[in-house]
């Protein structure tokens, strides 16, 4: 019984992982677009004020079970990876 | 023009952040349930084989723009936070 329950929960978790993967990549594409707009405008990619606002919004909207600090840590990792995504594109542009 | 475009893209990014927040917490609740089932069955929470399978699935399904290694790094952080979530509950149970 509990093994069947575990298998069902794991299948749901796999679905969530795939949703998460899709969402992260969708977010990545958005960040790339933002990077392009900023590049044309000559604005710096990294914006600490904007990053702070996003982290504050996470704190406001968090309903758990994760602690806000844990989520903010995870989001910071996502922000970091996204900045690298923008940097990489910039390099590619320079090579063309 | 580009400032308006930037504002629109940022609004979309905020939406994606909120979707991400919701999804991470939904995933967190699922992981907690898995922890409860495992606890009743006396099974260890951390399952490296299962974790490896989830990471392999991410590699198979990744369509970019993020590199697979970047996504796997992010997911490992999520797995780590999820394990802590299970551990915390276990402690709470011991206190009751």
The CATH number linked to B72 is 1.20.59.10
For tokens 């308006």, name the residue.
B4
**A8 — pLDDT class (breaks 50, 70, 90):** very high
Q: Which is nearest to A38 in space by CA: A96, A85, A95? A: A85
Using a CB-CB distance cutoff of 8 angstroms, which residues of chain B are in contact with residue A61? 18, 21
Q: Which is nearest to B20 in space by CA: A7, A30, A84, A6? A: A30
Residues 6+ apart with CB under 8 A from B6: A34, A37, A38, A41
Window 39-78 of B: residues touching A by CB (8 A cutoff) are 40-41, 50, 54, 57-58, 61-66, 70-71, 73-75, 77-78
Render pLDDT for B23-80 as a digit per residue (tens, 0 to 9). Answer: 999 999 999 999 999 988 888 888 899 999 999 999 999 999 999 999 999 999 999 9
Query: What pLDDT score does B42 carry?
Result: 87
How many domains in chain B?
1
Render pLDDT for A75-86 as a digit per residue (tens, 0 to 9). Answer: 999 999 999 988
Distance CA A61, CA B78 (A): 19
Residues 6+ apart with CB under 8 A from B8: none
User: Euclidean distance between the first and final Cα of chain A, in Å?
Assistant: 59
């Amino acid at each position: 019984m509990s093994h069947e329950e575990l298998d069902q929960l794991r299948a749901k978790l796999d679905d969530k992982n795939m949703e998460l993967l899709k969402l992260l990549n969708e977010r990545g594409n958005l960040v790339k677009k933002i990077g392009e707009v900023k590049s044309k405008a000559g604005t710096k990619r990294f914006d600490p004020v904007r990053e702070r606002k996003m982290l504050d919004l996470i704190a406001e909207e968090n309903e758990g079970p994760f602690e806000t600090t844990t989520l903010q840590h995870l989001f910071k990792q996502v922000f970091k990876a996204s900045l690298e995504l923008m940097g990489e594109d910039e390099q590619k542009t320079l090579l063309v």
